[in-house]
Amino acid sequence: MARTDIGPPDYRLMLPETITSNYGKWKYHEILKPGVMKHVSETGDELYTVRAGSPRLVSIDFIRDICDIADKYCDGHLRFTSRFNIELMTPKKENVDGIIGDLKKLGLPIGGIGDCISNIVHTQGWIHCHSAATDASGLVKSIMDELYEYFTEFKLHAKLRIAVACCINMCGAVHCSDLAVVGIHTTPPKVNHEKLASTCEIPSVIASCPTGAIRRHSDKNINSVEVREERCMYCGNCYTVCPSMPLADPDGDGVAIYVGGKVSNSRKPPMFSRLAVPFIPNNPPRWPEVTSILKKIVEVYARDSKKYERLGEWIQRIGWERFFALTNIPFTEQHIDDFTYATETFRATTQFKW
């Protein structure tokens, strides 16, 4: 019998010596250049951190490569960030260039600290998930190739967080990121009436629908459900609870782009990201329509924003009507909310720009 309920290893056994001896004693930090920062302790000790991008989906050989660098320069310690980047830390300033050199030899970008675009928080996509309406890893690779210089250089007035989710379950941070790409369907599920009763719990299927589009089949002889298609907005949650309601569709599936979310409390409270582009069809392997719109938004924001202004704060200041005008993104009926709290999003003032 295996041991159970031991929990994760004690993180204190994983900390580098400089961190153990200065735990809770840090005084300030400085960003020295893209991807490199220095923390200074009350004790006078210094800790240098080098941050590198990672594709998140990595082989054990990749991990071993990073371990080699950590053994060489960091006394066998390293960490990962909440955005899947790699951080190598050393108290020795002279080790920094060696770490950077070895990371670059592996083809890894140095950056992601400060006013830049850091790694993209993303999900499983076609690599591993059954409900994906798009791929995550391929989108992320395509976007980061396009916006690479924003990771390795300081070209923005504030941080810009990008997230990708492959369906509207929005695993990760799509609903609260400066820029977000989310996989969506645009066709209703195709109900498999023969298999539904044996594979699904019908009340759970009915309860899974946010718009009440699903009801018992009107023919009492058919032990299944029917979808009132005019009420269905293709969220796919019925498929999550019932394998007999698939809705993936090569032409109907694609992505939507949301903008202006954030989680930090700096200046303005946290914000949700909001719909900018309702639908772009999937176009693997490079999704060129998606990357070009994202790049356009980033460039307009970089040019028009004030210092320290996050993308959502910039839009709040200039107004959504200006955002759509400046980015040339068409405003459509899909942009207007029609779910539960829709009226709160309508403009109840005469204050607007032409």
Give residues 80-139 in contact with another protein (rule: CB under 8 A). Answer: 80-82, 84, 89, 107-109, 121, 123, 125-132, 135, 137-138
Neighbours of 147 (CB within 10 A): 21
Sign of dihedral through CA atoms 55, 60, 61, 64? positive
Q: Which two tokens stand for residue 241?
A: 């609870």
**CA torsion, points 144, 147, 150, 151, in degrees to nearest 10?**
10
Sole window of 69-77, 218-226, 314-322, 344-352 interacting with another protein (rule: CB under 8 A): 69-77
Site string for another protein, 211-240 (x = CB under 8 A): ------------------------x-x-xx
Site string for another protein, 309-338 (x = CB under 8 A): ------------------------------
List 35, 172, 188, 278, residue binding another protein (CB under 8 A): 172
CB of 298 to another protein, least distance (A): 15
Q: For another protein, give the closer residue by CB, 34 or 172.
A: 172
The Cα 236–Cα 187 span in angstroms is 10
Near another protein in 29-68, by CB under 8 A: 29-30, 39, 47, 49, 53-64, 67
Q: For another protein, give the closer residue by CB, 60 or 218.
A: 60
Sole window of 21-29, 213-221, 297-305, 345-353 interacting with another protein (rule: CB under 8 A): 21-29
Could you write out the DSSP letters of every residue in 196-244?
HHHHS-HHHHHHT-TT--EEE-SSTTS-SEEE-GGG-----HHHHH-TT
Rg (CA), the chain: 24
Q: For another protein, give the closer residue by CB, 27 or 228.
A: 27
Question: For another protein, how many residues bind (rule: CB under 8 A)?
Answer: 114
Q: For another protein, give the closer residue by CB, 303 or 307.
A: 307
Q: Which residue has the tokens 């298609």?
A: 229
- Picking from 293, 292, 284, the residue whose alpha carbon sits closest to that of residue 330 is 293
List 333, 339, 343, 350, residue binding another protein (CB under 8 A): 339
CA angle 195, 129, 297 (to 5 degrees): 125
Sheet with 254-259, strands from edge to edge, namely: 162-165, 179-184, 254-259, 274-281
CB of 329 to another protein, least distance (A): 22
List 43, 190, 308, 345, residue binding another protein (CB under 8 A): 308
CB of 291 to another protein, least distance (A): 11
Q: Is 353 in the site for another protein (CB under 8 A)?
A: no
Cis-peptide into 284, omega within 30 deg:
no
